[in-house]
Chain A
């Protein structure tokens, strides 16, 4: 059985210190652990860690546990927590930063569709300038769990029948310009 509790020596306080230096993450230190974020979050019932726990764990430096969790990926960016937070912590922006770090350090849950979707989406937009919903979903399913396509077939058919699903690959004319920008911004990152 896997050990559930964490010891202080596993925490990376230096990482936590660095994390709170990032723009929009400074106010994390002011968190009073009231749980308003978890209470307002429409998705917290599906999360393995609630947003309040994420805040506490980031602050204490439990990096790998946070970056491996599904919570950061389930965040739908509705900003309800940021609006309600009595300490004005920008929780959604903190979630975004955690997502980026999870991808960079390759700790995201590999078969979980949302991080896969994010990467496929970006890849498609980088190459073509626009997102074509059908192809993003198709590639996401292919990389995470191809069988999910079977369960989506009915929905897909209904969307197709009502003209809401297009198989066309959207593309813009000045895609070179966009790729140039992507390359330049990669250096900044």
Chain B
């Protein structure tokens, strides 16, 4: 993955499943606007609202995980820190916002 993209894309599980129409239209919009966008490599599920009902600690750990694994532990991906994240799923966006604040 090259740091050529301007935006990081965190789809969330629903945009790979029943929400695939949304993903298609979003990526097409970005292409037409000529904004380079790249999917976060090897992202994990944010747990949505379901995970909170089973375990709060691991829910928040997982959300941190997908972020810090890229941004902190792997030096060559440090530039990810500076990139804006696009997260079209409402729930995933909420978590991203909480983590980065």
Residues of A near any B CB (own CB < 8 A)? 76-77, 96-97, 99-100, 103, 115, 117-119, 121-122, 125, 129-134, 159, 162-166, 170, 172-174, 177-178, 181-182, 184-186, 188-189
Contacts and interface: CB of A to CB of B under 8 A. Distances in A.
Contacts of B17: 131-134, 164-166
Nearest to A103: B54
Interface of B: 13-14, 16-21, 42-45, 47-58, 61-62, 65, 69
A132 B17 CA distance: 7
B53 A99 contact: yes
Contact of B54 (A122, A166, A174): A122
A129 B66 CA distance: 10
A119 B54 contact: yes
Contact of B18 (A119, A159, A170, A174): A159
A97 B59 CA distance: 13
11 contacts: A76-B49, A121-B48, A129-B45, A130-B45, A131-B13, A164-B19, A164-B21, A166-B17, A172-B44, A185-B61, A186-B58
A57 to B, nearest CB: 19
Nearest to A72: B53
Nearest to A115: B53
A172 B58 contact: no
A76 B45 CA distance: 19
Contacts of B48: 121, 131
B45 A118 contact: no
A177 B65 CA distance: 9
B65 A181 contact: yes
Given A131-B45, A181-B58, A185-B58, A122 B20 contact: no
A171 to B, nearest CB: 10
A188 B20 contact: no
